[in-house]
Amino acid sequence: MSEYRTNILIGSAVVLMSKTIAVWGSPRSGKTTFSVKLANAIYNRYKTNVVVLFTDITTPTMPVLFPSAKRDTLFSVGKVLTKTDITVDETIKNLVLIKKKANFGVLGYLCGENKFTYPRFDDVKARELFDVLKTLANFVIIDCMSNLDDSVLSTVAVGEADEVIRLASPDLSCLSWYLSQLPLVAGAERHIQGINVPDADICAPVSDVRSHLGEVSFTLPFSREVKQQFYEGKLFDVVSDKKYNTVIGAIADKVVV
């Protein structure tokens, strides 16, 4: 932990600007998987420090990412948000560090937690957390909930992040969700729209999705290896799938510059 703290603070002192990237989209479009893989790509390609914040309070993400971790090695972002003032020290204490990756930290909710576990907080507090995370890492990736009503963190991130990457899966329920929900979101025209294929058996033509969603910046293919990693709790490992890596690498390059 202390090694991480030192490195990360040195890192933030060297680089002047840090960037927040919100990942949002339809339910099960692959937002969480994408957030981890984008963080991996930025970390590996740019040798920089990253933090990923998982905002899901309905299906807490920590037990999904770290299924075999001992409870006392995981911490909750909920605890950080209960503080009157969010300090760098308190945030660092609750960062979960990724093994063998110096300067790569994640924050999220723990198994069993729900919206009643911690006191409610407002958008000011959410901004306070983002500001602290920006002092810790050059890239802060925020895995947002599809339903913004469920999450202040997601609402603020989608509204105010430097970049918003919006994921859609090529299926009819995703299209229906977008046609219903997108009109409710301000600033949607600045989002980077991408298609992600989270299942091998998805069969709606990508062209149909394109025609409804407008300009699509990338199509991230289905990868059996990524799926396997997800189910084994190994999403932070590297992927050897070339097609997948080429696309995620290009997205990393686009958001980093």
Binding site for ligand ADP (CB under 6 A): 27-33, 196-198, 220, 222-223, 226-227, 230
151 is an interface residue for Mg ion by CB under 5 A? no
- Residue 56 CB, shortest distance to Mg ion, in Å, is 5
- Residue 59 CB, shortest distance to Mg ion, in Å, is 7
The residues that bridge with 194 in the sheet, in sequence order, are: 167, 218
40's contact among Mg ion, ligand ADP, none, with CB below 5 to 8 A by partner kind, is none
Query: How many binding residues for Mg ion (CB under 5 A)?
Result: 2
- Residue 190 CB, shortest distance to ligand ADP, in Å, is 21
Chosen residue from 32, 146, 154, 193 binding Mg ion by CB under 5 A:
32
Nearer to ligand ADP, 29 or 154 (CB): 29
Nearer to ligand ADP, 64 or 96 (CB): 64
- Residue 187 CB, shortest distance to ligand ADP, in Å, is 20
Q: Which two tokens stand for residue 151?
A: 């999450």
Nearer to ligand ADP, 44 or 82 (CB): 44
- Residue 121 CB, shortest distance to ligand ADP, in Å, is 22
Nearer to Mg ion, 4 or 177 (CB): 177
Q: Report the candidate in 118, 68, 116 with the shortest Cα–Cα distance to residue 94.
A: 118
101 burial class (0-12, 13-18, 19+ CB within 10 angstroms)?
A: middle
108's contact among ligand ADP, Mg ion, none, with CB below 5 to 8 A by partner kind, is none
Nearer to ligand ADP, 136 or 235 (CB): 235
Nearer to ligand ADP, 170 or 198 (CB): 198
Q: Which two tokens stand for residue 235?
A: 């999403």
**Which among 12-20, 25-33, 81-89, 192-200 is the span making contact with Mg ion, rule CB under 5 A?**
25-33
Nearer to ligand ADP, 74 or 247 (CB): 247
- Residue 28 CB, shortest distance to ligand ADP, in Å, is 4
Cβ-contact 95, 177 below 8 angstroms: no
User: HEC profile for the chain?
Assistant: CHHHHHHHHHHHHHCCCCEEEEEEECCCCCHHHHHHHHHHHHHHHHCCCEEEEECCCCCCCHHHHCCCCCHHHCCCHHHHHCCCCCCHHHHHHHCEECCCCCCEEEECCCCCCCCCCCCCCCHHHHHHHHHHHHHHCCEEEEECCCCHHHCHHHHHHHHHCCEEEEEECCCHHHHHHHHHHHHHCCCHHHCEEEEECCCCCCCCCHHHHHHHHCCCCEEECCCHHHHHHHHHCCCCCCCCCHHHHHHHHHHHHHHHC
- Residue 226 CB, shortest distance to ligand ADP, in Å, is 4
Binding residues for Mg ion, per CB under 5 A?
31-32
